[in-house]
Amino acid sequence: MSSAIVMPKVGLTMTEGKIVEWRKSVGDRIEPGDIVFVFETEKVSFDVEATQTGVVSKIIIAEGETVPVGTEVALLDGAGGAAEAAPDKSSAPEPAAPQPAATARTPAGSVTASSKTRATPLARRIAKSNGIDIAQVTASSGPIKKRDVESYLSGLAAQPAARSASMTVPPSEIAGGRLVKLSSMREIIARKMVASTTEAAQAYMIVTVDAGNLVEARGRLIPSIEKQTGVRPTLTDLIAKIVAVAIGRHPVMNTRWTRDGIVWLDAIHMGIATALDDGLVVPVIENIGDKKLSEIAVQRRDLIDMARNGRLPPERMKGSTFSISSLGMFGVEEFSAIINQPESAILAVGAIIDTPVAREGAVVVRPMMKLTLTYDHRIIDGAKAAAFVASLKDVVEEPLLALA
């Protein structure tokens, strides 16, 4: 009996997956628990296990291809019933709700209603050959057609910076070196960064703050929080809490731009930019304004551990309303970050540097830190951004205002 293995659904928000490696080939026999293939989605990799015995008779989807959830990716002969595959529990997070991980009875090519962009084959070929994500193209009517893609390309031609960032260079034009195929993570990062720089009116504001009291507050809090939770609070934890307090005073920082108007969000969900070996993820601490520093420290530790071990669920990387990015641990004194769309602002945190400064007519050495705010000028005016930065400086220099 022949049956199919399909792209499984992991988590509530997954709509497609990219096959990065086939662990089994045509003719290979598989047993329950064998890893059949590996796929990526939303910057996370998953091992997919077989749940039945059989022989792989055909591989339908090649490595490097992205397909919607439910698409048949391989055929299995000799199975006693429906051939199923499920993400390996040892390396993948549990779904947020019970999901059929893979079902052999799903017809080839069938997907959920919202998981696939409707487009003609010719439109898809033109988009792919130009390095364009078909989902970015707007259809004039019905499915996306050739003229819609050509219109989109014409628009990019008027934006040299955007076009150079989004178009691919043919390998034949690269002299020397080696070609490494883009991972799903790198594709997502590239798409989001280009979109952010072309769709938002990004402006910048820098402030230098005295971090002496911040460092002292952390030193005093470490013993009690570590004893209570087993986690040492970091400066990032304190800054995240402080930023939430400042946003509470200036709610315009917690907004989103939409075609219909500006959305003012109630809850503050803080994104923490986290570097991985092969890219960047932004895990989210939800409702950070309502959390104690000890809770923030524990959640930050857990989220970063999951991210670095490839177990961070897609749901924990969505919904942020403001993000912070810190490179201080690398000695970077000052930098500007790109807004994490669809947010309106992001804060870049530099290193704490002992610096000579004037205090009451005398020169003293103080631990100084530079904070750079990147904000969307479509929503946030310069004066409002300056007011937020001033509040941020006040609370960083007097952290008890945030931690009391």
- Which pLDDT value is given to residue 14? 76
Alpha helices in 158-273 (DSSP H): 160-166, 184-199, 212-229, 235-249
Active-site amino acid positions: 377, 381
Angle between helices 212-229 and 235-249 (to 10 degrees): 110
Q: Cα 62 to chain center, whole Å? A: 25
Series of mean pLDDT values for 10-residue runs along the chain (404 residues): 83 80 90 87 76 89 88 82 45 36 31 51 71 78 78 63 49 68 75 84 96 95 95 95 96 94 96 87 94 95 89 86 95 94 95 95 96 96 97 94 72
- Amino acid identity, residue 186? R
Distance CA 273, CA 280 (A): 7
Write the CATH number of the domain with boundaries 201-403: 3.30.559.10
- Which pLDDT value is given to residue 187? 75
- Which pLDDT value is given to residue 135? 78
Nearest to 264 by CA among 348, 380, 122: 380
For residue 141, what are the CA distances in angstroms to 122, 148, 152, 245, 258? Answer: 16, 9, 14, 46, 22
- Which pLDDT value is given to residue 83? 42
Task: Look at the domain 2-87 and name its fold.
Answer: OB fold (Dihydrolipoamide Acetyltransferase, E2P) (2.40.50)
**What is the DSSP-derived secondary structure letter of residue 144?**
B
- Amino acid identity, residue 343? E
Distance CA 240, CA 281 (A): 17
Start and end residues for every CATH 2.40.50.100 domain found in the chain: 2-87
Start and end residues for every CATH 3.30.559.10 domain found in the chain: 201-403
Nearest to 340 by CA among 195, 242, 136: 195
Nearest to 323 by CA among 229, 203, 224, 243: 243
User: 257 near 315, Cβ under 8 Å?
Assistant: no
- Which pLDDT value is given to residue 50? 86
Here the tokens at position 243 are: 């930023």
CB burial of 352-380 (b: ≥16 within 10 Å; e: otherwise) equals: bbeeeeeeeeeeeebbbbbbbbbbbeebb
Give every CB contact of residue 242 below 8 A, 6+ residues apart in sequence.
392, 395, 396, 399, 402
